[in-house]
Each structure stands twice: as structure tokens, then as C-alpha cells.
Structure 1
Amino acid sequence: MPQPLAPKEAAQFRTIIRSFEDKQYKRGLKTADLILKKYPRHGDTMAMKALILNSQGKPDEAFPLAKEALTVDMKSHICWHVYGLLYRSVKNFEEAIKAYKFALKLDPTSAQIQRDLAILQVHVRDYQGYIQSRKAMLQARPQIRSSWTALAIAHHLAGNLTEAENVLTTYEGTLKSAPSRFDGEHSEAVMYKNSIIAEQGDFQRALDHLESDAKHNLDRLAVLECRADYLSKLGRKEDAVQAYRLLIDRNAEHIDYYEKLEQALEISRDDAPARKAIYDEYAAKFPRCDIARRVPLDFLSGDEFRQTAESYVALMLNKGVPSLFANLKHLYSDSFKKDTLREVVEKYLGSQDIDSESKDKGEAAGLYYLAQHYNYHLSRDLAKADEYVDRAIEKDPKSVDFHMTKARILKHAGNIKEAAEMMDKARKLDLKDRYINSKCAKYQLRNGENEKALKTVGLFTRAETVGGPLADLLEMQCIWYLTEDGEAYARRGNLGLALKRFHALNNIFDVWQDDQFDFHSFSLRKGQIRAYIDMIRWEDHFRDHPVYSRVALDAINLYLAMADKPAANGTNGADEEDALEKKKAAKKAKKELQRLEREEAERQAKQDPNKGGQAADAKKKDEDPLGLTLAATTDPLGEAMKFLGPMLQAGPKNIDAQIAGFEVYIRRKKYVLALQCLNRSLAIDAENPRVHEQVVAFRKLLNNAPSDLPPKVVEALKAEFTAVDATADLTKYNQDFQEKHQASPLHVLSAVKARQTLGVDLAKCEKEVHGLIEHASATFTDAIAALETLKSWRSAEIDSFRKAALAKWPNVTRLSE
């Protein structure tokens, strides 16, 4: 049992709790020390002191103190509750749940402990445990609406839709009077119940519920959309048609309403005249509606497409709409429509009347369209694109859009340096435009100008932020900038800052995951149930976002290079070269740190002494601002797993993740896991060039199995690996692959790399890579990939390859890096 306190100290203990809740940590620690001076073995006070220390960022002091508090008083629910909170703060959720459960056994009536346990259970997706916790909370406080709603949510997330509906129905039966029609929380609960009924597939009952209980619901749009959907699914076509027409009248630019109206009218997708009649009707009804005029271009063909395109394009060009190409480029997958649209715009330009008032605007818009047309990858002709954009700029020298497109054309030509300069020129045409500022910074990063890019983007960050623009970008979770910044540093060979950015991005995704904690209780308190369910389902998949995959792959590739570097030191002179590189990197890092300190000192000197600058507002100092500690890791493969694990779990069908997984596991000698990744890659795309390299490497490994690998494991691996037979000639297998994909430079490059894996003389492989420049289909991106391969081999052919490549593609800046 907790040691009893005298009335004075008991009041002081309550003060500690209030101080912690109000984040007055210094006051709380001072009060705790006063109690411990008189009662040195008071477990609850020790626990609260540990909790405050942890909140101050001192977990090394907090955990031992919390454990000591438990040894002093094992039967204190406060000690166990604090122990759980400490484990939760370090994301050891399993231990935190155990501690909460033990605390709850000691004090079953504690609403706070029960609530913390429930929140943690839903956070780790322990839905059965969450149901039990919510049942207990409902029994304790059945008069609160959110207790019933939370139990319904628990059943819903666990897949028990019937139980979820029954809970909501039971609560409705406890109401003595009907809620006000202006009660937003009740309105949301009604729509939530309706969505549960619909998820069960009982659309008739969902419709009946909608027309009775949701008749005066505050979310009118949701009611109308659900009603139209239910009518359509129930086969009540006439009523569904009326419902969708009502929705279109509300929002004529919502394309889904038109598509569902077509379905309700039972119009075939191939019946172009009938479909066009619908859009013509609404184009006449809503003269300013863009969707009604543009969508018919998706399904029309032949002369009818040409006529409609001429009408639509002329209308948009006369207005000078800059987004015309963006609206139509999805049609370019059809070669007829692609060519027709080009002809229509060319015809429009040829028909412009010199005396027409709209000549300047319309002609400039037409030239701009054709510049984008020839810049697009499905119709690329960069020479023509450059010609048209120059003519457009001549018509309107102050157009930001025209100069941006000029920069994109230069980028696609490989001339990143001039592209960045052109984008900066576009930025200066409108210094108040945040978008063009961001694009300019992005291009500067692509050109390796990290410091210049930071100053550019810093024009739109908060000047008072401690740490300058970069600190503000980190605080605002500006993931596009951090990604580009990290990749730029990686290209420059600055591993420390590159890894620093990638780990910062990984931390941002962790923050997004941890942010759920607040919404588990907030959403119930505010009654935003449907949005909460959507958030939970989104959180379950947010790490398969392309941005996370990109960042994770970037970091993994750096760590793989770090892991492979020691193996490359067998080359003559490699040790001396590495030592020289490290010395240069250390010198650069020292200069960079001095620059950062100087800029921070200048910024603080300029700061108003009456504003900020207080120690209380200062953020925790970054002990590794240049990422030197990250770059000096002795376990790069272990660090790579921090990125690989979540990516593999979230994206099992992401071939790039599987390829990276194989590379990491094979180096860690986790051959079973490596084979799993390889088999998944083969199932996704067996002809992928990187997968081919891995197949050859794994077959060679099995043919010469490591001596430390148990025979049973070798047998299991051979049984599971069926891509290449054990008796196959790997040299012939690789040659057949190359002949099959002779038209693809990247596949040929992979075949050469596979030959090098099989033991072919390195000099011969280098010559073959060098010869890829003359490949009929080779582009400068293929040349960059070949150059990177030679760099990874530390080839003597690098300089001659670069010289030959630059002779063929003189403006490609990446070839000269």
C-alpha cells in the first residue's frame, strides 16, 4: 500500500500533479524534492518526479527512478501507471500495456488509467483488447454519449458491424427525448450508424434509415450522396437519376456524379452519342462548367472528337487558360487524339486574325500549349518545344508559366545548370509567388546548390525561427524540400548531411503515426466519427506512400554503399584514397559547421532584443548538425533495416522495396529472407533488370553455398528457389537474357553486371559498359546509370567514358559530376 502522507505533504503531492499537467516542471520537481526530503521512500512522489524528468527530456534519470519507486511500493497504481507512461514515451507499447493492466488491477475504478490503456490498445490495433476496455468504461459512465460511440467504433474496427450497430441502437433507446435537429454530434452519429448499415450490404435498410432518422441531418451533402448511391444499388434507376441530377445541380464540376448518372440511365460506355447528350445538356445549363465540355473528349473519336476538340480548345485558348495542356494530357495515351490535339492547336494559331483583340493572349496560349506538347514524354521533341516556348516568351516576356516551361525543357534535356538559372529567372518575375519560389529551390537542389536553395526557400519561412530557415522547414514538415536536399547532398558525396535529412524525414513519418494519440480521444470528444475511422484506415497504409518509399530507398542505397566500401579496399591504393576522402570530408564538415555558427550568430545579432531570444524558447541543441555521427556508424546494414522494415511491411507489391530488401538481407547473410524478397520480385516483374542481377547472384551463391550455412538450410533454399535450375549454365542464361532484351540499354547493363558477378574479367566488363554509349536506344539517363556502375567498380574507364558521353550529350550536367 502507498505510504500515507501528512495533510501538508498530501496537498503538496496534489500540487505536483497539477504542475505536471500545467507543464510547470521546475515547480513540480521542487515540490517533489520537498516531500522526498521528509519521506525519502514515498513511491508515488518518486514516480511523479520520474514522470517530470522524462518530460524534461531526461529518460536516463527517469527510468531508474521509476523502477526504484516500484521496488519501494509494488502495490501503488500510480507507480505502475507512471511506469507505463514512460514506456509509452519510448514507444515500447507492449511493456506500457502490461504496466497499465497491472495498474488497473490495483485500481479498477481509475478512469484515467482505463482511458490511457484503451488509447494505447487502439493505437497498436489490439481491437479485442480495445473492446474490453471500452465495455468497462461504458459500464462506469453509461450516461456519456462518447462511451457508447467508442464501443461502437471498437466493434466496427474489429469487423463486428452488427455489434457496432446494436450498440448505437441501444444508446438511442436510452434517450428520453429526441435530440435537437441542430445537435451536430447526434447528426454525425446518425450518419455513422447509416454507414455501418451500408457496410453490411443491407442497402434497403440503410435507405430507410437515411429517409427517417437522417431526414433533417446537418450534413446534407452526405445524405444526398448516400441516398443516390443506395437507390442505384437497389436498382431504382429513375429515383437514382433524379438524385444524381440534384447532386449535379449542386456541383456541376464533380465528375463522379456524371459517371454515376450514366450508370443510373443504363447508358453503355460505348454509346458515345447518348453520353455526349448528357454533357451537352449540362454545358447548355451551366455555361461556365468546364467538366461538361471537357469530359466528352475522353470517349469521343474520329471527326466527332476533332469537332469537339476544336470547339473546346478554341474556347480555352481565347481565354488564355494556362492549364489547358494539363487538362488534356491524359488523352495522349491515344495516338490519334494526341496528333489531333496538336493539329487543332496549330490550326488555331494559323487562323488568328492580326486585328483580333485576343490575338496576343490566344496566340501566346497556343504557343505555350505546343511547347508543353513537345516537352511531354509521349510526344517529346525538345528542339521544337524550345522553339515554341521561345516564341511564347517573346509574346509575353513577363509570363512566369512560360519561363517555368523553358526550365522544364532544359531539365528534360539534361541541362540542370541552365534549368536552375531559368527557373530562378522565372522566380524573379513574381517574388510574391510561393509556388515558383519552391520550384526554383527544387531546381537549385537538383543542381547541387544546397546553400543557395536554402536561401531561396528561406524567403518564405519565418525569420524569427531559432535555427533559421532549415529549422522552420523541419518544424513545418516540408518533406519535399528535405527529400530533395538529402538527395542533393548524396550526389555531392556528403553522406552525413544526406543521412541527416533522410532520418529527419523518417522521424516526420513517425510523428504522423504518433499524432494518432491525440485523435483517439479528440475525435470522440468532438463527435467526428467518420473522419476518425477514415484516419485510422489511412494510418494503416501511410507508409506505402511514394514519398516514404523514395526516402527509404535513398537511405538504404547510402547504407549499402557504406557497407560495401570496406570490401572495395582490397583494390590497390583504395585505403589511401578512402583516407584522403575522409580527410577532405572532415575539412568540409568543419567549414560547414563554422558557416552555420556564423550565420546563426548574425541572425541573432539582427534579432530584436525585445522579442524572443529567451532560453525558455530555445529548442534543444542538435548535437550532430552535420550528421557526422550518422555517417560514422559501424553497422550500416542495421541502420538500413530501420527504413527497410516499415517499407516491406507497408508495400509488399513494391518491387523496388523487394529489390532493396534482397540487397540488405544478402549482405546480412539472412538468406531465407533474401529469397523471400527475390521470389516476390519475380512474381511482380521477372524481366526487371535488377531482379535478373539478383537471380544470377543467388544462383551462384547456392551453387557455392557458404561453409557456415547448415545443410538443411541449403536444401530448403534450393527447393524454394526455382527461377534458375541448379544444372543451368549461368553464363548462357545471362547471355540469353541479354539477347532477349538487346533493345534496352539498362537490361544490357544488368547483363554486364551479372557477368562481372560470375567472375568475368573486370576490364572486359568495363569495356562493355563503355560501349553502351553507342547503343542505338541509349539516352543520357542510361549513360548516367552506366557511369554510376563504373564508379561503383572504381574503374579506370570513368574519365574516358565521361568524355565520350559528354561528346554525345554535351549539355547533360550529371555526366560531368
Structure 2
Amino acid sequence: MPQVLSAKEQGLFRTVVRNYEDKQYKKGIKAADQILKKNPKHGDTLAMKALIMNSQGKTDEAFALAKVALQCDMKSHVCWHVYGLLYRAVKNFEEAIKAYKFALRLEPDSQQIQRDLALLQVQMRDYQGYLNSRRAMLTARPSARQSWTALAVAHHLNGNLSEAEGVLTSYEETLKNPPSKTDFENSEAVMYKNSLIAEQGDFQKALDHLESAGKHTLDRLAYYELRATYLTKLGRTEEATKAYRALIDRNSEYKMYYDGLIEAMGISEDKAAKKQLFDEYAEKYPRCDAARRLPLDFLEGDEFKEAADQYINRMLDKGVPSTFANLKHLYSSSFKKDTLPALVQQYIDSGKSEANDEPKRSGDTSKGASAAFYFLAQHYNYYRSRDLDKAMEFVEKAIELEPNSVDFHMTQARIWKHYGNSQKASEIMEKARTLDTRDRHINTKAAKYQLRDNEGDAALKTMGLFTRAETVGGPLADLHDMQCVWYLTEDGESYARQGKIGLALKRFTSIYNIFDVWQEDQFDFHSFSLRKGQIRAYIDMMRWEDQLREHTFYSRAALSAVDVYLKLHDKPLSNGTNGNSDANGDDAAERKKAAKKARKEAQKAEREAIAKKNEPNKATKEVEADPKKKDDDPDGAKLAATTEPMNDAMKFLTPLLQFSPKSIDVQTAGFEVYMRRKKYVLALKCLLAAAALDKEHSKVHQQIVRFKVAIDSEFESSESKISPKTKEVITSEFNLLPASTSLTKFNDDYLASHKDCARRTLSALSVRKLISPDAAPTCEKDVAAVLKLSAITVEEAQEALTLLRSWNSSEVDAFKSSAAQKWPKATIFE
């Protein structure tokens, strides 16, 4: 039975609650202890004390005390509510929801519990539960607009668009006086309702609603854009054309308005009409760039050449650095790829660069020439038209004319990167940085190139120029706090190249955690967006969050982490340190010492943590914020010491397979992980998905043969653990190899079909060595011979070198020598 408090103690209990809300935690503990002195089994007080202890960072003690509180009073909604809050604090939302539901059964009228439950349900995407909670909340508070809007959102998220619209309509009917035209919440609600109508496909009704209720919306731009869209959908050509022309008059640089106007006018296939339209706006807005650039997308032949000549002359006269970036998308057409540089060369030869009427920069009379040289440098550096020697020649000419141009030096650094000389690239990028020390963009570029050259300390120092000096832990801590994903990714890949596995995994895990934080950060917006009435933005955020981990930032970091774990599985570290796993001798001894030191430090830190935990609470200054957690594995030694690398890899891989199934790199990575885990059906699923994307891909070809070899071996083995059902599934689904074709012939046919492609040739040679180990010497010589291929790139040559090293081939030194002669400016073959 719960203990009953006296009037005085009830007042003390209210003080405990108030102290918790005001973050006066020490006072709250003191007041709670006063109550518990006379009533040691008062569940509500024990629960509140647990809540305060959790806010002080004592999570384990808080959970233990909350369980005691429940044992003392199982029928207290306060105890169950607190238990749910504790689980919510540690991100265990499933258990928190269970606790809230139990609390709600005990206290059905509690708005606070109902609201907390609803927020967790939408966070966990339990839309049906969220709908039920919001319906109950509306019944309790039918006068609040938030309650109606929230129920409409619940119906929307649950897929019931007409019901969502009906809820908003019902609320509007309850209003006695029309809302003010300056009422932001009403304006947003009207536009949200309009989006619901349009999402149902009833564009006539959406337009009628927009013209009536939405006519005075505060978001004028959205009104004009939606009106133009609806008119186009309804085929009201003249009105739609007028609407889009009004939008272009508002913003003549927005491509979507031109696309909408062309669709409304019905001239999508009429190039002459489109050209006339763009000419009209080019004349109407002399400073407009879009009206001159967009026609280049669809013009061909002499018309393209004339328009491109005018555009290029205009841009080069102004010395616009982004001219090439604006036009490089046209390089998918071989005609345009050849025409554009010819026009730039013609511009240089004609002497226009010396005689244009544009204002000069700082007395410079060669702006057009330098811009033209810069364009050609970028042209020859671009992967579709690469000639690095010519690119270097032109960029040096541009730098000679404008020696203080940051853009020119950045491109020069990029050319050195493509040469395969990361050291020189880093030096030039650093020189570019010194030309403008206040520019954050060039600062980050310099740091990125330093990381590519494995200069981690220099990169951190460079980034430190723009981080907060007062941050505890220095620049790296600030970069973590600011969630600087690109830096952590580059840093992790740099450590992976150096064989510092622990630090590499540390960085990739940090990125994984950052995406977790982004996932959790939406929690506050479930109530904030309703409170502020920003419903359309909220729905967009929810949809973005649902696809969060398909972002390229996550894909790149996760694939790198999976690659590290694969290498860790194939060649486990003997010491779990951040040394180079391929080193030996003295290096191995040093790594052993470092491992011993790291273990001692970890044990010391653990002892100190236990001792501190067992100490009685000391009188310390009241802390209002959550205590900063100390990193107990700063070098990633524990991550590198994993005994189950494939299970750890699955943490990164699972979201990739869910959100990026169309990426061939993801599917091939999935195959590698599942094969090592002996999950053959799942490996086959990844293989089939990869083959559907590109069956001729070098990795896919290799994996097809490896899968066949592995499966045949398993099927023939007397110790095989593959069940008959699994065997049946694999046999029926694995159709990537003709039944009558031998692996040798299959591989030889692939090699013959792709003998001019270095990467696919390497794949075929790897397969040949796999199925015919006796042919290893011949395979090694054939790998070395890929240098003779005319189309081979530096990157492909590096892959060939890596393959030879993995085989411990005697051809390594000869290959490096030949590659160094072929690419004398590259340092990767030194």
C-alpha cells in the first residue's frame, strides 16, 4: 500500500517537483530525503529523486531507484511516468512507450502523460498509435487549434488525406469570427490544407481553395507558385502562362519557372519557340544569366555554336570564374564538348580578351585572357576531356596574368591531385589558402588536401584557424561538436590508409553517431512545429528524416567503415593498436609497446571511474547542464580490438542496404560481409541486386565466380551446415552463370570482352588466379602488363599495384618502376 503524506510533506513533495523543473537538483534531493526520512517507501518521492539523479548524470542509480519506487507503489502513475522518462533519456523509446501506456491506464486524464506518449509514438513512426493519442487529446482540449492541427497531421502521416482535410474543415466551422489576415498560424494552416487537397489529386478544388481561403496567405511566393502549378495541371494555358511570367518577373534566374512556362505554353518539343522565349527574356533582363545559359541545353549545331559563342564571350569578358562549372554538364554531348574549348581558344586568338569594355579589376587589363586560360585549364582537367599537361600549361598562364587568384591556384592543386602527387597538391592548396586567410572555403579545401596527403596534424592546425579557441579539447573537439562530417570522413579515410585502424573506426563511428543525433533531434520538433504552426515544413522534415541515411555523407563513411572491418576480419590485428597492419620488425615491436601502454591507460581510467563512482557526493557547484561525458576510448583501441568485426560491420551496412539499394558499391559490400558470415542466401540477394544494376561491373564479375566456387564447395562438403531448403533456394535463384559454362570459359569470355579496360582486366585476372592457383606467375605478369593499356588511369594502376602487393608478387618493384616512368609526376609509385 502506498504511504500517505501529511500536509507538510505534501508541500515538500511539491517543492521537489518545482526544484526539478527549475534544475535546482541539490535542493530537490535534500527535500526528497526529508520526505523519505519519515516515509521511506513513498513511491512518488522515490521516483522524483530518481528523475533528479538522472539529470545529475547518475543514470544507473536512477534506474535502480525507479525500480524500487515501482515496487513500493505499482499503481502510481507518477512512478510509471518517471520510469518512461528515464527510458526516454537513454533513447530506449520502445520501453518508454510501454511505461507511458501503463501510466495512462492508471491516470487516463493526464494531459502530460498523453502528450509525452504521443511525441514518442510519432518519433517511432507508430502512426496508428499517434492517431489514437491525438484523438484523445483533442477530446480533452477541443478549443485549442493545436489539437485539431495535430490530429490532421496524424491522419496525414497515417495516409488518410481526406480525413486530415476534414479535421481542418471541422475546426474552421467552429470559428465564430474569421482569423486576422496577419495570423501566421492560420495562414500556415490554410496552406497546409491546400497541400492536402492537391496531394489527393483534385487540382480544381485545390485552385478554388487557394483563390478563396489562400488569397491572403502571408506566404505570397508559395501562393503564386501553387497557382501557376494548378493552372498548368488543369490545362488553362493562357492563365498558367501569365502566372509563370509573373514569377519570372519576380526572379528571372530560377530555372524551374522557365521549365513551368515552357510546359504551360506547350512548346517542350519546339526548339525554335523555346529559343525565342529565352531571347525575349535575355533582352528584357540584360543582366540575367539563366536566359542565356539554359538554351545551350537543347540547342544543336550552328545554333548552339552561335549561342555558346555569345555566352562565353560575355562571361569571359567579365572574368567569371564559374563559367566552366556552368557549362560542364554539356560535356555529355561530344559535339558540345569539342565546340566549347574551340570557342574559348578562338576568343583568345581573336584578341577580344585585351579589348573588352567590361570594367577591369585593380587596373588589370588581361581579365578576359586569364579567364579564358582558366576555362581551358578546367576543361583539360575534367574527367571527360582530361589532358593534365595541357591543363597545367593553361593554369600556369592564368596564374602568370593573375598571380594572386585563389581560384587559379586551387585548380592547379586539383591538377596535381589528378597527377597522383598528393604532396604537391597539398602544398599548392596551402599556398592558395595564404592568398585569402579569411575565406573559410579555401581553408577547408587546404585541410582536405592535407588529409589526402595524410598530414593529419597540419590539417587540424589549419581547421583550428576557424574553430572556437575556447572549446575544451581543441579544434578536434569543436569539429565533433559542430558535426563537421566531411572532416571526420576524410580524417578517418586518412587513418585507414595509414593502417591506424582504431582511429579510423573512431572517426567513422562518430559519423554514425552524428546521424543518430540528427535522427533524435527531430524529437523536439514534434511539439515545436505544432506550437509555432509550421506544419508544411514539419511534414517535409519528417519525410527527409525517413530517408536520412541515404545521404551520401553517410554512404561514404559507412562503406569506408565496412571496408576497414572486412580487412580486420581477413587479417586481424595482433595487438589492436593504431599501427600499420602490414609492418613488421621494429614497427611491430613499437606497436606492441603502444598496445601495452594503451591497455594500462584504459585499466587506469576504469579504476578511476569506479573509485569516483563509489565516492560519496562531494559539495560541488550546482550544474544546470548535463555533465560532459568523458571519452573512455579516445584512440579507438577498443573498436579495433573487436572480436566480431562482421557483426560490427552490420551496424553500418544495414542502413545502407535499406536506404541505398540502387548503389552497386553498397550491394557489393553487402555481398562481402554476408559471405564472410556464411549467410549465403543474403549474399546471393546482394549479388543479384548488383548484377541487375551492372552485370559487367568488375566487382560483380569477381563475386559471381567467388559465390559459385564457395557454394560448390559447401554443397560437396560433408560438414556443410547449409539446410536442404537453403540449398534449394540458392540453386533456383542463382542464374547468373549458364549451367553448361565452365568458370574458366566464363572468365575468359569476360576478359576478351573487356581487354581494353584495366579495372575489368584486373578483375578477370584475380578470378583466373582463384580458379587456377597454378597460373599465379602468369597472372602476375598479366597484371603488370595492364600498364600498356592506352586508357589506363593512375587510379587503376594503383589498384593493380595493390593487387600485386596482396599476392606478395615479385612483380611489385618492376611494376612500380614502370608506373613511375609512365607517370613521372605521380608520387604514389615511389
Shorter-chain TM-score tier: over 0.9
Structure 1 partner of 2:671? 662
Alignment match, 2:638: 629
Could you give the per-residue CA deviations for residues 150-171 of structure 1, whole angstroms, max 9, x where no partner exists? 0000111111010000000000
Within the alignment, does 1:749 sit opposite 2:779 as a pair? no
Aligned partners of 1:2 and 1:44 also within 8 Å: no
Contact 1:593/1:626 (8 A) holds in 2 = no
State the match for 1:605 in structure 2: none
TM-score calculated relative to the size of structure 2: 0.91
Q: 1:701 to 1:79 in 2, by over 3 A?
A: same
Superposed CA RMSD in Å reads: 2.5
The alpha-carbon distance between structure 1 residues 397 and 170, as it changes in their structure 2 partners (threshold 3 A), is same
Mapped to 1, the partners of 2:183 and 2:739 lie a distance apart of 71
Q: State the AA in 2 paired with 1:785.
A: E
Structure-to-structure mapping, 1:300-699, within 5 angstroms: 300-352=299-351, 359-566=365-572, 583-585=589-591, 619-699=628-708
Report the Cα offset of residue 20 of structure 1: 2.9
Identify the residue that residue 795 of structure 2 maps to in structure 1.
781
Deviates more, 1:745-754 or 1:769-778: 769-778
SS of 1:182's equivalent? coil
Cα distance, 1:759–1:103 mapped onto 2, change above 3 Å: farther
Question: Are the equivalent residues in 2 in contact too, given 1:699–1:726 (CA < 8 A)?
Answer: no
Deviation at 1:206, TM superposition (A): 0.6
Q: TM-score, normalised by structure 1?
A: 0.93
**Corresponding position of 1:166:** 166
Query: C-alpha distance in 2, partners of 1:763/1:522?
Result: 67
Q: CA deviation at 1:324?
A: 0.9
Instruction: Tell whether the 8 Å contact from 1:398 to 1:429 is kept in structure 2 after alignment.
Output: yes
Q: Is the 8 A contact 2:26 2:622 kept in 1?
A: no
1:108 equivalent to 2:122? Answer no
SS in 2 for 1:704: helix
On the 8 A contact 2:379/2:386 being kept in 1, the answer is yes
Q: Which moved more, 1:242-251 or 1:17-26?
A: 17-26
C-alpha spacing 1:541/1:173, structure 2 compared with 1 (3 Å) = same
Q: Distance in 1 between matches of 2:98 and 2:584?
A: 49
Distance in 2 separating the partners of 1:20 and 1:795: 68
- Which deviates further from its counterpart, 718-727 or 166-175? 718-727
Closer/same/farther in 2, CA of residues 185 and 266 from structure 1, 3 Å limit: same
One-letter code aligned to 1:635: E
1:67 Cα deviation after fit: 2.2
CA apart distance, 1:356 = 6.1
Aligned twin of 2:74: 74
1:41-95: per-residue Cα shift (whole Å, max 9, x none)? 2222222233333333333323222222222221111221222222233333222
Match of 1:653, SS state, is coil
**Residues 573 and 641, structure 2, Cα contact 8 Å, conserved in 1:** no
Q: How far apart are the structure 1 equivalents of 2:46 and 2:340?
A: 76
Q: CA deviation at 1:586?
A: 5.4
**Who is 2:220 aligned against?**
220
Task: Give SS of 1:350's match.
Answer: helix
2-side partners of 1:150 and 1:459: how far apart? 46
1:250 alignment counterpart: 250
Deviation of the 1:718 alpha carbon: 1.6
Name the amino acid aligned to 2:782: E
SS in 1 for 2:773: coil
The 10-residue stretch of structure 1 (320-329 or 777-786) with the greater mean CA deviation from structure 2: 777-786
Deviations 1:119-142, CA, capped at 9 Å, x for gaps: 111111111111100000000111
Partner secondary structure for residue 829 of structure 2 = helix
In 2, Cα distance between the equivalents of 1:796 and 1:13? 80
Distance 1:370 1:11 in 2: 80
Q: Determine if contact 1:494/1:585 at 8 Å carries over to the other structure.
A: no
Going from structure 1 to structure 2, the CA distance change for 1:24 and 1:732 (only over 3 Å counts) comes to: farther
**8 Å CA contact 1:75, 1:106 repeated in 2:** yes
- The residue number in structure 1 matching 2:616 is none
Distance 1:102 1:579 in 2: 63
Aligned counterpart, 2:753: 740
**Are 2:381 and 2:391, in contact at CA under 8 Å, matched by a contact in 1?**
yes
- Amino acid paired to 1:683: A
Cα 1:575/1:360, change in 2 over 3 Å: closer
8 Å CA contact 1:389–1:406 kept in 2: the answer is: yes
Q: 1: distance between equivalents of 2:126 and 2:492?
A: 36
The alpha-carbon distance between structure 1 residues 527 and 94, as it changes in their structure 2 partners (threshold 3 A), is: same
Structure 1 residues 157-166 or 71-80, which shifts more?
71-80
Give the Cα separation in 2 of the matches to 1:229 and 1:684: 35
Q: How far off is 1:259 after superposition?
A: 1.2
Maintained 8 Å contact 1:283/1:292: yes
Q: One-letter code of the match for 1:621?
A: K
- Other-structure match for 1:722: 735
Determine the structure 1 residue equivalent to 2:607: none
Evaluate the alpha carbon distance shift between residue 576 and residue 349 of structure 1 in structure 2; reply closer, same or farther with a 3 A threshold.
Answer: closer
Give the aligned residue type for 2:766: K
| Counterpart amino acid of residue 399 in structure 1 | S
Partner of 1:814: helix, strand, or coil? coil
Contact 1:560–1:664 (CA<8 Å) still a contact in 2?
yes
- Write the distance in 1 (CA, Å) between the matches of 2:97 and 2:151: 19
Partner of 2:95: 95
* Distance verdict in 2 for CA 1:111–1:782, change over 3 Å: same
Give the Cα–Cα distance (whole angstroms) in 1 for the partners of residues 556 and 106 of structure 2: 48
Which whole-Å CA distance do the structure 1 matches of 2:332 and 2:176 have between them? 61
Partner of 1:602 in structure 2?
A: none
Q: Which residue of 2 aligns with 1:277?
A: 276
Does the 8 Å CA contact 1:100/1:117 hold for their aligned counterparts? yes
Tell me: CA distance 1:97–1:350, structure 2 relative to 1, closer, same or farther (3 Å): same
Alpha carbons of structure 1 residues 8 and 739: separation in structure 2 relative to 1, 3 Å: farther
Partner of 1:122: 122
* Deviation readout 1:179-212 (Å, 9 max, x if unpaired): 0000000000000000000111111111111111
> d(CA) in 1 for partners of 2:57 and 2:437?
41
* SS of the residue 2:790 aligns to: coil
More displaced stretch, 779-788 vs 709-718: 709-718
* C-alpha distance in structure 1 between counterparts of 2:581 and 2:417, whole Å: 37
In structure 2, how many angstroms separate the alpha carbons of the residues matched to 1:203 and 1:577?
68
Decide which moves more: 359-368 or 195-204: 359-368
Return 365-374 or 766-775, whichever deviates more: 766-775
**More relative contact order in 1 or in 2 (CA 8 Å, sep 6+)?**
2
Bigger mean CA offset, 439-448 vs 287-296: 287-296
Counterpart of 1:601 in structure 2 is: none
* Cα 1:591/1:743, change in 2 over 3 Å: farther
Question: Where does the alignment leave 5 or more consecutive residues of structure 2 unmatched?
Answer: 601-620
Specify whether residues 11 and 673 from structure 1 end up closer, same or farther in structure 2 by C-alpha distance, changes over 3 A only.
Answer: farther
Would you say the 8 A contact 1:465–1:471 is kept in 2? yes
Relative distance call for 1:566 and 1:365 in structure 2 (3 A) is closer
Amino acid at match of 2:734: F
| 8 A Cα contact 1:703 1:726, kept in partner | no
CA distance in structure 2 between the partners assigned to 1:592 and 1:366 by the alignment:
56
Mapped to 1, the partners of 2:202 and 2:83 lie a distance apart of 47
